[in-house]
Amino acid sequence: MRFTFVTLFENLVKPYFEDSILKRAIERSLFEIDFKNPRDYAFDKHKKVDDYKIGGGAGLLLKPKPLSLCLDSIIEKSPNAHIIITTPVGKLFRQNDAKRLAKREHIVFVSGRYEGIDERIIEEYADEVFSIGDFVLTGGELASLVMCDAIARNIEGVLGNRESLSEESYEEYLLEAPSFTKPNIFKKNPSPSEFLKGNHGKITALKKTLALAKTKFHRSDLYLKSKILQRIKEDEK
């Protein structure tokens, strides 16, 4: 698996992979990363990558030509590369996307800057267009990193314990139940006594109840979906 970051600011992205789990995963060849700078494909005297908006409007846009040449050079070597363009007007990136995309061979993240990217690049090259939330960042580098991290931890072998993935938030539309570690009592507040008794059936049942309560409290939208899923499963029995 390879992730390519198309960015004017490689140094904003690279350090994230120089520590912890993702660093170790790269050292174990579970995935690779590389970088392409659209400026290397701008062939005018000033290596210009941005320009004013046609029709007026505030700010500058990334010009289509350097980005297009940059993406062509990637596709030429890797025809199956899956190109993801980051933009606040994309569909929301979700855990299901992270799982699905972890099966790809090569993912290319395109980071916009300034007021974004010429729309024709999106039309011509995007396999998918993602936003990471309803807010506007200064550039796509953080969005690309967020998605890459979420995808990478779903690649076989990246996490030591595969069970961590199946018991996580967003499985079957539920948030994870509250978790506790030692000490059993912290600031006079005990962890649930049931967790200490070692009856795994009861612990699982309690965790399910707590996960439902937490989801209902924080994310009523997901809670409704989880209830519907539960009902479908019961009907199928």
Min. distance of Cβ 171 from ligand SAM in angstroms? 24
Residues 142-161 as x/- pattern, contact with ligand SAM by CB under 6 A: -x------------------
In eight-state DSSP terms, residue 14 is: G
- Continuous segment of H or E residues that includes residue 89: strand 82-92
Alpha helix segments (H runs only) across 118-219: 119-125, 141-152, 163-166, 200-218
Distance of CA 110 to the CA centre of its chain: 13
* C-beta of residue 8 within 8 angstroms of C-beta of residue 111: yes
Provide the 10 A C-beta neighbour count for residue 139: 17
Min. distance of Cβ 85 from ligand SAM in angstroms? 7
Judged by CB under 6 A, does residue 64 bind ligand SAM?
A: no
Our CB check for ligand SAM shows the closer of 51 and 115 to be: 115
Binding residue for ligand SAM, selected from 60, 69, 137, 222, defined by CB under 6 A: 137
* C-beta of residue 108 within 8 angstroms of C-beta of residue 132: no
131 backbone dihedrals φ, ψ, rounded to 5°: -110, 150
Min. distance of Cβ 186 from ligand SAM in angstroms? 36
Judged by CB under 6 A, does residue 132 bind ligand SAM?
A: yes
When CB distances to ligand SAM are compared, the closest residue is 112
Residues 72-111 as x/- pattern, contact with ligand SAM by CB under 6 A: --------------xxxx---------------------x
Q: Rounded CA gap, 183 and 77, in Å?
A: 54
* C-beta of residue 49 within 8 angstroms of C-beta of residue 117: no
Judged by CB under 6 A, does residue 139 bind ligand SAM?
A: yes
Min. distance of Cβ 26 from ligand SAM in angstroms? 24
Our CB check for ligand SAM shows the closer of 115 and 171 to be: 115
